[in-house]
A and B are shown apart, each in its own frame.
Chain A
């Protein structure tokens, strides 16, 4: 049985569905990349896993099985005990994630004290140990610093250190490098992978960068308009994408294009949650769409080693 099993998760804002059925699984120590265009619902899916959807959004269907319990319906206090302790999260922009009026130390110690009966001195020791682990220089001095005294890269290291405090089983990283300098992005990614490998921690990595996923994850889920449309082992999907959208994404990678040639792109744009077309949400942009695509919403179903949500899946092989 997988450690985390997200099944057909839905999130609604009033009448509109932001997530229309997200399904994926994560084994212990496994790393899953969730990719998709901006607005596909990747971040929403990440927050929905720990049931942290901002008002007026709410989880309106599906389940998040973790350790035999459904996080989507867990009482608030039980949910609180899971968040930060067993499933931790890293946000996109480290400049906004840390509270500007509290010291790094305060923000670390409070996390430990929320989940353990622990003295300040002991919490401080663990905090400094974690700061060391993520290679924050002069960790003891940084403990008393305020966030504004640190650079963006350093702040993201601190955020990672905070997420590691309680030795979680899963870490959810929501575009952890997007807001950082290009020079630091690779460093932070490498740090995350090393930490996962050293501690046996699982990771859900939200990104729009397929290349990053191919280097760092074992599994891949591709999202489009609030749905997972293809899911499986990274290598299998990259070698033989079954969904036309996944295929388009891979073909759009710069390294797939010939030097000097025009970059391939998927025509059109992704529809917003209030303007979804009938049937398969991708059909207006799809080269393989036919009349059937305009009526039925395809469900995720197994095809070889992966799961695909397309009625043409399996029949597209020769047309790459």
Chain B
């Protein structure tokens, strides 16, 4: 019951957020040069262009165009890519699996590494291991993602020749049309370097976040009481301290995972990864406005979905939180 009320409420919020995003996205169109220049060749005369503009509705007032855009968007039509001459949504969704798998691989790396590293650094703050982790994370947080990517390519592809430096490699097509790189050895080997560089930007942040929150919870009265009850150290650390550490980590982490999508633009470009971010950068170079807008809207949608999932997980971990918006 709570869940349903929560989801309905969330849906409502999502619609408003999406509306705002589409207004912003759509207003870009009128400021990004003349789409006709990209659409037609040099040989088309100005008179013919004017006819075409009228046909495409580019001369209509902003709000007429926007209303038309929204009307189409609701029906799943985000315009036609000028370059690909295909529906923009279709072009983007074609690239979605590549980006999704890259973000997923990076996220898995971030969680499996940051949780043990963060806990260890919190429990033994003066040890050499913790000092090493903390100094490395400072370096990691400071080096921009494209530099990490170029270093990785230089070392593992160029010098050692262990891993491929660009592309997605072999993919396997799943029954529902999803191209996955997880199921072939070649696909996986292509995934490693891009995933590491994408993870490198968030991993230090997560380690530091988990460490700081864990140290904070270790000082609480309930952890002290857990010691006074004579519990084993593992139980105190993992069940009492870490469960409470998770709450702020989930909140911050959820937003950051969303931000990872933004970083895919850099990572995908360096590794020529055929995903949405790479596509987006190309679309900007070609002033392919419908594609740019479609990308912005899709990414906005992903943010909304990710945040909703994060809120759901948060309420599962924190018994004090009733689902936000659900009637108490």
Contacts and interface: CB of A to CB of B under 8 A. Distances in A.
B229 A91 contact: no
B319 to A, nearest CB: 4
A96 B217 CA distance: 12
A115 B225 CA distance: 15
B230 A101 contact: no
A264 interface: no
Given A54-B224, A91-B221, A110-B235, A84 B240 contact: no
Given A83-B228, A111-B229, A115-B230, A148 B222 contact: no
A174 to B, nearest CB: 10
Nearest to B229: A84
A17 B231 CA distance: 29
B228 A52 contact: yes
Interface string A104-124: 000000110011000000000
A146 B221 CA distance: 17
B243 A91 contact: no
A54 B219 contact: yes
B222 A114 contact: no
B281 to A, nearest CB: 43
A100 B319 contact: yes
A146 B232 CA distance: 22
A250 B13 CA distance: 64
B221 A97 contact: yes
B17 interface: no
Contact of B229 (A76, A93, A114, A146): A114
Interface in B280-328: 317-320
B259 to A, nearest CB: 27
Interface in A3-38: none
B159 to A, nearest CB: 45
A101 B221 CA distance: 14
A101 B220 contact: no
B226 interface: yes
B124 to A, nearest CB: 12
A162 interface: yes
A99 B319 CA distance: 11
Contact of B239 (A88, A97, A102, A159): A102
B230 A83 contact: yes
A159 B319 CA distance: 19
B320 A148 contact: yes
Given A54-B219, A91-B224, A110-B239, A101 B318 contact: yes
A89 B317 CA distance: 28
Contact of A93 (B219, B221, B226): B221
A98 B244 CA distance: 12
B231 A101 contact: no
Contacts of B318: 100-101
User: Interface size for chain A: under 10, 10 to 19, 20 to 34, or 35 or more residues?
Assistant: 20 to 34
Nearest to A86: B230
A158 to B, nearest CB: 11
Contacts of B222: 96-100
Nearest to A165: B229
Interface in B174-229: 219-229
Contacts of B243: 99, 101-102
Given A101-B319, A148-B320, A114 B232 contact: yes
A80 B319 CA distance: 29
A50 interface: yes
Contact of A99 (B219, B227, B230, B240): B240
Contacts of A110: 229, 231, 235, 239
Contacts of A84: 228-231
Nearest to A51: B227
B45 to A, nearest CB: 71
Nearest to B241: A99
B220 A146 contact: no
Contacts of B231: 80, 84, 110-111, 114
B225 A101 contact: no
Contacts of A89: 225, 228
B228 A88 contact: yes
A102 B227 contact: no
A125 interface: no
Given A84-B229, A115-B230, A52 B224 contact: yes
Contacts of B226: 99
Contacts of A98: 222, 225
B230 A100 contact: no
A103 B240 CA distance: 12
Interface in A254-299: none
B228 A114 contact: no
Nearest to A106: B239
A148 B319 contact: yes
B171 to A, nearest CB: 42
A109 to B, nearest CB: 11
A85 interface: yes
Contacts of B233: 76
Interface string A47-58: 000101010000
Given A84-B231, A99-B243, A100-B244, 12 more contacts: A80-B232, A91-B224, A96-B220, A96-B221, A100-B318, A101-B243, A101-B318, A102-B239, A111-B230, A114-B235, A115-B230, A148-B319
15 contacts: A52-B228, A80-B232, A83-B227, A85-B230, A98-B222, A99-B225, A99-B240, A100-B318, A101-B243, A101-B244, A102-B243, A110-B229, A114-B229, A114-B230, A146-B319
Interface of A: 50, 52, 54, 76, 80-85, 88-89, 91, 93, 96-103, 110-111, 114-115, 146, 148, 159, 162
Interface of B: 219-233, 235, 239-240, 243-244, 247, 317-320
Closest 5 CB pairs of A and B: A84-B230, A96-B221, A83-B230, A84-B229, A99-B222
